[in-house]
Structure 1
Amino acid sequence: MTNNHQFTQVIFEMLNKYFDKNAEDIFQNSPLLQYLNIKTKSANKGSKSRLSVGNHYALYVLVEDYINKGFYNQKNYEDYEGARFSDLFRRQRELPFGEKLQNHALNHRLNMEFTKYFPTLGQKPILRDLETSRYWINENLLIIKVAKVNYNIAIVIKEIIDAYVNARQQSFRDFMSYCDELLEIENKDNNEAVNFIKSLLRPNVDARVFEITSYGILKTFYGEQKIFWDYSLEELTEDNLILYKTGRTNANDGGIDFVMKPLSRFFQVTETIDVNKYFLDIDKVQKYPITFVVKSNETPEKIKEKIQEEAKLKYKVKAIVNHYLNSVEEIINLPMLHEYIDIIIEQGKISDIIKEIAIQSQLEFNLNS
Structure 2
Amino acid sequence: MNHSFSKVILNVIASNFPKLSGEIYKNSELLNYLNIKTKSANRGSKSRGSFANLYAIYVLVEDYIRNGYDKNDGYKEYSGAKFSDLFNRQRELPFGAKLQNHALNHRMNEEFRKYYPTCEYIPIIRDTTNRYWFNENLLKIKINGKAYNIAKSIIEIIDAYIEAKRDSFDKFINTCEKLKEIEDDSDKQSSDFVLGLLEPNVDARIFEIVSFAILKYNYSDEKVFFGFDPTELVEESLKLYKTGRTNANDGGIDFVMKPLGRFYQVTETTDVKKYFLDIDKLEKFPITFVVKSEDNSDILIEKIKRNAEAQYPVRTIVDKYISCIEEIINIPELKNRFANALEKGMLTDILSEIILQSKVEFNYEEKD
* TM class by smaller structure: over 0.9
Matched to 2:2, the amino acid is N
Kept in 2: contact 1:59–1:137 (CA 8 A): yes
Partner residue, 2:7: 9
1:229 aligns with 2:226: yes
What is the Cα deviation at residue 246 of structure 1? 0.8
TM, length-normalised to structure 1:
0.94
Of stretches 224-233 and 201-210 in structure 1, the one that deviates more from structure 2 is: 224-233
* Distance (Å, rounded) in 2 between the aligned partners of 1:364 and 1:166: 18
> How far off is 1:5 after superposition?
2.1
Q: Is the 8 A contact 1:247 1:255 kept in 2?
A: no
Q: Is contact 1:186-1:193 (8 Å) kept? A: no
1:134-163 deviation line (CA, Å, top 9, x unaligned): 321111111122344322111110121111
Aligned to 1:100: 98
Q: Give the superposition deviation at 1:188.
A: 7.6
TM-score by length of 2: 0.94
Residue of 195, 198, 201 corresponding to 1:201: 198
- Mean Cα displacement is larger for which, 200-209 or 247-256? 247-256
1:193, CA displacement in angstroms?
1.0
How far is 1:189 from its partner?
6.3
Name the structure 2 match of 1:338: 335
* 1:235-274 matched pairs, under 5 angstroms: 235-274=232-271
Aligned to 2:323: 326
Task: Report the AA paired with residue 44 of structure 2.
Answer: G
Q: Secondary structure at the match of 2:285?
A: coil
**Which runs of 5 or more residues in structure 2 are unaligned?**
none
For residues 333 and 233 of structure 1, the distance between their equivalents in structure 2, rounded to whole angstroms, comes to 36
Unaligned runs of 5+ in 1: none
How is 1:1-369 mapped onto 2 (pairs within 5 angstroms)? Answer: 3-129=1-127, 131-187=128-184, 190-369=187-366
Q: What are the superposed Cα offsets for residues 2-24 of structure 1, whole Å, 9 maximum, x if unpaired?
A: x2322122223322322222222
Deviation at 1:330, TM superposition (A): 0.8
The one-letter amino acid of 2:57's match is L
Q: Tell me, yes or no, if the aligned pair for 2:96 and 2:363 is still in contact at 8 Å.
A: no
Distance 2:321 2:77 in 1: 55
- What do residues 107-148 of structure 1 show as CA deviations (whole Å, max 9, x unaligned)? 33222322333232322212233x333321111111122344
Secondary structure of the structure 2 residue equivalent to 1:247 = coil
Question: Which residue identity does 1:228 align to in structure 2?
Answer: F
Say if 1:183 and 1:358 are closer, same or farther in 2 by CA, change over 3 A.
same
What one-letter code is carried by the residue in structure 1 that aligns with 2:290?
V
Cα displacement (A) at 1:290:
0.8
Contact 2:80 2:131 in 1 (8 A): yes
Q: Deviation of residue 241 (structure 1)? A: 0.7
Structure 1 CA distance for aligned equivalents of residues 121 and 293 of structure 2:
39
Following the alignment from structure 2 to structure 1, what is the Cα–Cα distance between the partners of residues 124 and 2?
A: 26
Q: Distance in 2 between matches of 1:107 and 1:315?
A: 34
Q: Secondary structure of 1:243's partner? A: strand
User: Which amino acid in 2 is paired with 1:139?
Assistant: E
SS in 1 for 2:17: helix
Cα pair 2:81 2:131 within 8 Å, conserved: yes
Deviation at 1:364, TM superposition (A): 1.0
Deviation by residue 1:307-363 (Cα, 9 ceiling, x = unmatched): 323333444333332221221111111110111112112222222211111111111
Paired with 2:101 and 2:53, the residues of 1 have a C-alpha distance of 10
RMSD value, Cα: 1.8
Q: CA contact under 8 A between 1:56 and 1:161: conserved in structure 2?
A: yes
Partners of 2:95 and 2:364 within 8 A in 1: no
Measured after TM superposition, the shift of residue 233 of structure 1 is 1.8
Is 1:287–1:327's contact at 8 Å kept on the other side of the alignment? yes
1:128·1:134 contact (CA, 8 Å) conserved in 2? yes
Q: Report how many aligned residue pairs link the two structures.
A: 366
Q: CA shift at 1:368, angstroms?
A: 2.8
Match of 2:181, SS state, is: helix
Instruction: Name the CA distance, whole Å, in 2 between partners of 1:235 and 1:203.
Output: 46
Task: In structure 1, give the amino acid aligned to 2:24.
Answer: I
Q: Contact between 2:185 and 2:345, CA under 8 Å: does it hold in 1? A: no
Moved over 6 A (4+): none
One-letter amino acid matched to 1:31: E
